Amino acid sequence: MATLRSRYPGLRPFDAEEQPFFFGREEEIEAVCRLLDLDNLTILHGPSGTGKSSLIHAGILPALSRIRNWDVPCHVVPIRFTNFDPELARIRSEKQGLGDWDSGLLKDPVDRFIMACLGEQPRWEEVIPMPKPSLWLSAKKMLIDQAIHPLRIVFILDQFEELFSYPEARVEEFARQLGELYHQIVPESVRKGLDRKQIIEAALDTRERRLPSPKTAQLMARIEEPLDVKILVSMRSDKLHYLERLKDYLPEMLLNSYELRTFNTEQAKKAIAQPASLPGDDFVSPAFIVSEEVMETLIGFLQDKITRRVDPSQLQIVCQHIEKRIVERERKIRK
């Protein structure tokens, strides 16, 4: 039996399955999709509570197929950054008897990215011997694993401001590698790894050389092909100044950015009325109509008295409460 859904998810972000009742952001979806088409890197920023994650998952991602010139299939890789907590790392290390508290128990940004591409055990070093894992090479390997060619990868870097809670060296290494991914061509670090591989193999006796696996052979045959990658970064506006720390590797980072604002009055009315009126047995509540009088009362209650705009998170909380009251009323009537 399918789980019934609320018409209003409250504080939880909308997910992709809730796209049919995600209303009020049509203009923003169109704008961000146009920016994604223009460049390989797009910054989506806004105050906390404006619904950046909802816009991405219930708005932008379902709309990717409608972008002009996007005539290749897309593979979406969502990566959600979390705060680096050295105290938690220390405690966990002590419990496991490890001397060095910064032992990798908490994934650093590069590890988190590679794990999203290739899983828990990427084994990247078996393909090209390199001193450090490579975002570019991991993305390339993932393309081969997907067995679709051509294929465009869309990386979603959510809560990107949390990257800057990590030690400076880790932030810099991630920025350097993200720059390589953005520019798409084979990075110098991978070229050195290829040279290293050739030198090592040349020193082996013919009988000692192992045939590469089919996937490795495919990767090596297509290693020079530019990556087809789009990167969408989502972060809070009040943390936007942190991006200055990445400018050595991504100097053009803020050229392609979009600010997500709170709802204007018409957007708020859509977000209230349209989910309520949707028919269907998939919701916890029956369809209902929000009268004009109730709508004006709700808008007046939710509107900021100075800007006259409406916070989407507060709107969802209030509407979810209204829906719960309707469900309770229906139960009483049935009794």
The amino acid at residue 219 is: L
Maximum Cα–Cα distance for the chain, whole Å? Answer: 85
- Residue 144 contacts by C-beta under 8 Å, 6 or more apart in sequence? 215, 218, 219, 222
Query: Does residue 1 sit within a domain?
Result: no
Q: What is the number of other CB atoms lying within 10 angstroms of the CB of residue 227?
A: 19
**Residue with the larger pLDDT of the pair 270 and 96:** 270
Q: What is the pLDDT of residues 61-84, one digit of tens each?
A: 999 877 867 888 889 999 988 888
Q: Which two tokens stand for residue 156?
A: 């979603």
Cβ 315 vs Cβ 272: under 8 Å: yes
Residue 28: the pLDDT is: 97
Evaluate if residue 128 carries a pLDDT over 80: no
In the prediction, which pLDDT does 92 show?
54
Q: Residue 46 and residue 240: Cα distance in Å, rounded?
A: 9
Structural contact between residues 284 and 6, judged by C-beta atoms closer than 8 angstroms: yes
**Shared domain check, 299 and 236:** no
- Whether 141 is in a domain gets the answer yes
pLDDT band at 291 (very low <50, low <70, confident <90, very high): very high
For residue 20, tell me if it sits in a domain: no
CA distance 52 to 57: 9
CATH number at residue 54: 3.40.50.300
On whether residue 61 sits in a domain, the answer given is yes
pLDDT interval class at 104 (50, 70, 90)? very low
Last residue of a domain, one of 244, 259, 274: 259
**Do 97 and 49 lie in a common domain?**
yes
pLDDT tens by residue, 258-290: 999 999 999 999 999 999 999 988 899 999 999
Share of the chain above pLDDT 70, in %: 87
pTM: 0.86
Same domain, 251 and 298: no
Q: Residue 2 domain-assigned? A: no
- Closest by CA to 273, choosing from 319, 318, 240, is 319
Is the C-alpha dihedral spanning 131, 136, 140, 145 positive or negative? Answer: positive
- Based on the domain organization, do 251 and 299 belong to the same domain? no
Higher local confidence (pLDDT), 181 or 114: 181
126 with 193: CB under 8 angstroms? no
Q: In the prediction, which pLDDT does 99 show?
A: 46
Q: Say how many domains are in the chain.
A: 2
Domain span holding position 108: 25-259
Residue 122 has pLDDT above 70, yes or no: no
For residue 70, count CB atoms less than 10 angstroms from its CB and return exposed for 0-12, middle for 13-18, buried for 19 or more: middle
On the 0-12 / 13-18 / 19+ scale of CB atoms within 10 A, 184 is middle
Looking at 228, 259, 290, the residue that finishes a domain is: 259
Output phi, psi for 41, to 5 deg. Answer: -130, 130
Contacts of the segment 25-33: beta carbons below 8 A, 24+ positions apart: 25/51, 25/54, 25/55, 25/59, 25/267, 28/55, 28/59, 28/258, 28/260, 29/55, 29/59, 29/60, 29/63, 30/63, 31/258, 32/60, 32/232, 32/258, 33/60, 33/63, 33/64, 33/66, 33/67
Does residue 170 form part of some domain? yes
